[in-house]
């Protein structure tokens, strides 16, 4: 009961992940029926799916400064409103061009929420619970993806099926907006705006037994160390390079190991592997969503017990092996025959299990931890832009790669990237379990090698 209020706040804020996850998952089923309506070429399918990522890049790029100026809470609430309007525009799109533009509008909201919610969660969390609470965001993303799969299945046989699928995105937007109306902003942001009395009240609710005065002073000290001059302008220093290497690098690992090719195109992959109908492929994809949702809960339990790096090693190794297995299944499809679809299901389930226990939640935890307070909003914005830029390239090129070079070489390529990411984690990613945000910042100043954290 001691941290009940904190968990309530974290769950409400994490609903932003539900919003992001819904948009990520709903297009996988809707795409099958949109394609039936307008008979899209492979390149147009790629543009439609990745159009949301164009908006996401813009949203992430333009709102880091706003999050630092106006606070995390107001930006989250604004995001919810944008997402509601975008979902309605998608549902009423008269042609593919309007739908693409509408998806970009929704993507603008997704881009904002993907950096501001983990930022919010990291700044309200005590150090021994930070990994768990930030992981709730990834769990909410998987819940949103699963919800979208259920919606896809529910409306699959309905008139205007894909329009209903896209319109249902209004629901997570409403839930997020209403929930955030009752929340407070983060104490670290309040201190940065000289609102110390409000910050003390929030700190006391976060950690009832904490020394509030010490917490406030620690935050003020880290701000002073980051500020470059008397005019409160930020001066970039050499020690800040490594946090950006880690942040952008972990975003590369999260996306370029192929997760969103699975989430966006799972029904398409299943149909290519031998499932003969849209409905069957959607039901198989729903199973993937259930696994993703459940295994993220496992990650939430272990992330503050085992640490970030052990989970990354386990997850990346499993992701790599499952991608090599999936590629091999496509390579030997003539031998496997009808068994190919079951090998594909097994490989994808293994992939999702390993990703959900590692890169999914740990990626967002790390980028919310490694940056100094004074530039945290802007820095996370940059990392989120890189995430969506990587995402745009991977998702946009996937249907073309699948058609041109085949499933085998496509998935083997992602497997090779996974191996490189394991090496990156070993040499560059620090272990941040049980270390306060202020201590992490201090460690960057003191050491050059992240392995010596």
Q: Residue 320's pLDDT is what?
A: 96
Does the pLDDT value for residue 89 go beyond 90? yes
Band of the pLDDT at 163, cuts 50, 70, 90? very high
Please count the CA atoms within 13 angstroms of the CA of 395 that sit on its side-chain side: 29
Q: Which of 191, 193, 221, 188 is nearest to 206 (CA)?
A: 188
Please count the CA atoms within 13 angstroms of the CA of 286 that sit on its side-chain side: 16
* CB-CB contact of 407 with 336 (8 Å): no
182: Cα separation from own chain's centroid: 24
Taking the C-alpha atoms of residue 207 and residue 424, their distance in angstroms, rounded to an integer, is: 35
Q: Residue 46's pLDDT is what?
A: 75
Q: Give per-residue pLDDT as tens, 371-416.
A: 887 778 788 888 888 988 898 788 778 778 877 888 788 889 999 9
Distances in Å between the Cα of 371 and the Cα atoms of 179, 240, 248, 345 are 28, 8, 12, 39
Does the pLDDT value for residue 148 go beyond 80? yes
Give the chain's mean pLDDT.
84
Distances in Å between the Cα of 123 and the Cα atoms of 352, 365, 450 are 29, 11, 22
Q: Residue 392's pLDDT is what?
A: 79
How is the chain split into domains, by residue range? 4-452
Q: Which of 225-229, 249-253, 366-370 has the lowest mean pLDDT?
A: 225-229
177: Cα separation from own chain's centroid: 19
Taking the C-alpha atoms of residue 88 and residue 33, their distance in angstroms, rounded to an integer, is: 18
Distances in Å between the Cα of 268 and the Cα atoms of 75, 114, 122, 364 are 35, 26, 36, 28
* CB-CB contact of 37 with 154 (8 Å): no
Q: And the tokens for 207?
A: 């950690």
* CB-CB contact of 241 with 375 (8 Å): no
Taking the C-alpha atoms of residue 53 and residue 103, their distance in angstroms, rounded to an integer, is: 9
Q: How many CB atoms lie within 10 A of CB 213?
A: 11
Asked whether the CA dihedral 144, 147, 151, 153 is positive or negative, the reply is: positive
Select the highest-mean-pLDDT range: 145-159, 330-344, 355-369: 355-369
Q: Give per-residue pLDDT as tens, 43-56.
A: 787 788 778 878 88
Looking at the chain, how many residues does it have?
A: 453
Q: Residue 347's pLDDT is what?
A: 85
Taking the C-alpha atoms of residue 192 and residue 70, their distance in angstroms, rounded to an integer, is: 11
Q: And the tokens for 341?
A: 């679809």
Average pLDDT over residues 154-174: 89
Average pLDDT over residues 18-39: 84
Taking the C-alpha atoms of residue 371 and residue 387, their distance in angstroms, rounded to an integer, is: 16
* CB-CB contact of 102 with 111 (8 Å): no
How far is the first Cα of the chain from the last one, in angstroms, to the nearest whole number?
33
219: Cα separation from own chain's centroid: 27
Band of the pLDDT at 453, cuts 50, 70, 90? low
Band of the pLDDT at 232, cuts 50, 70, 90? low
Q: Residue 112's pLDDT is what?
A: 87
CATH architecture of 4-452: Up-down Bundle (1.20)
* CB-CB contact of 45 with 399 (8 Å): yes
Does the pLDDT value for residue 316 go beyond 60? yes
Q: Residue 233's pLDDT is what?
A: 56
Instruction: Check residue 373 and report its DSSP letter.
Output: G
Label residue 331 exposed, middle or buried (CB < 10 Å: 0-12, 13-18, 19+).
Answer: middle
Q: Residue 408's pLDDT is what?
A: 84
Q: Residue 98's pLDDT is what?
A: 94
Q: What is the pTM of this model?
A: 0.74
Distances in Å between the Cα of 385 and the Cα atoms of 169, 280, 365 are 23, 35, 16
Q: What angle do CA 424, 398, 34 make, to 5 degrees?
A: 140
Q: What angle do CA 27, 404, 37 make, to 5 degrees?
A: 35
| pLDDT cut 90: percent of the chain above it | 24
């Amino acid at each position: 009961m001691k941290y009940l209020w904190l968990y309530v706040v974290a769950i409400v804020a994490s609903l932003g992940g539900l919003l992001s996850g819904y948009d990520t998952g709903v297009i996988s089923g809707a795409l099958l029926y949109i394609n039936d309506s307008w008979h899209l070429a492979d390149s147009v399918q790629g543009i439609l799916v990745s159009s949301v990522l164009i908006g996401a890049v813009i949203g992430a790029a333009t709102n880091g400064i706003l999050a630092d100026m106006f606070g995390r809470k107001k930006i989250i609430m604004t995001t919810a409103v944008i997402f509601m309007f975008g979902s309605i525009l998608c549902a009423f799109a008269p042609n593919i061009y309007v739908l693409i533009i509408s998806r970009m509008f929704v993507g603008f909201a997704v881009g904002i929420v993907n950096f501001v919610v983990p930022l919010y969660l990291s700044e309200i969390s005590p150090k021994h619970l930070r990994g768990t609470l930030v992981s709730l965001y990834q769990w909410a993303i998987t819940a949103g993806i699963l919800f979208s799969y259920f919606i896809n299945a529910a409306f699959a046989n309905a008139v205007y099926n894909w329009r209903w699928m896209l319109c249902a995105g209004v629901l997570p937007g409403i839930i997020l907006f209403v929930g955030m109306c009752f929340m407070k902003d983060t104490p670290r942001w309040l201190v940065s705006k000289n609102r110390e009395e409000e910050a003390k009240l929030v700190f006391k609710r976060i950690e009832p037994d904490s020394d509030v005065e010490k917490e406030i002073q620690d935050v003020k000290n880290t701000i002073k160390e980051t500020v470059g001059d008397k005019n409160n302008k930020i001066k970039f220093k050499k020690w800040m390079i490594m946090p950006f290497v880690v942040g952008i690098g972990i975003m590369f690992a999260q996306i370029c190991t192929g997760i969103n090719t699975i989430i966006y195109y799972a029904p398409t992959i299943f149909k290519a592997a031998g499932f003969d109908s849209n409905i069957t492929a959607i039901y198989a994809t729903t199973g993937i969503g259930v696994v993703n949702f459940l295994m993220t809960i496992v990650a939430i339990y272990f992330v503050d017990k085992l640490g970030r790096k052990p989970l990354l090693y386990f997850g990346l190794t499993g992701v790599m092996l499952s991608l090599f297995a999936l590629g091999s299944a496509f390579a030997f499809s003539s031998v496997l025959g009808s068994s190919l679809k079951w090998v594909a299901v097994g490989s994808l389930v293994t992939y999702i299990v390993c990703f959900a226990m590692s890169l999914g939640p740990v990626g967002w935890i790390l980028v919310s931890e490694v940056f100094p307070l004074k530039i945290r909003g802007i820095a996370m914005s940059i990392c989120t832009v890189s995430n969506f830029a990587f995402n745009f390239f991977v998702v946009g090129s996937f249907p073309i790669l699948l058609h041109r070079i085949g499933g085998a070489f496509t998935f083997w390529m992602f497997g090779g990237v996974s191996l490189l990411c394991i090496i990156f984690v070993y040499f560059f990613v620090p272990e941040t379990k049980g270390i306060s945000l202020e201590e992490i910042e201090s460690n960057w100043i003191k050491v050059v090698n992240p392995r010596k954290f």
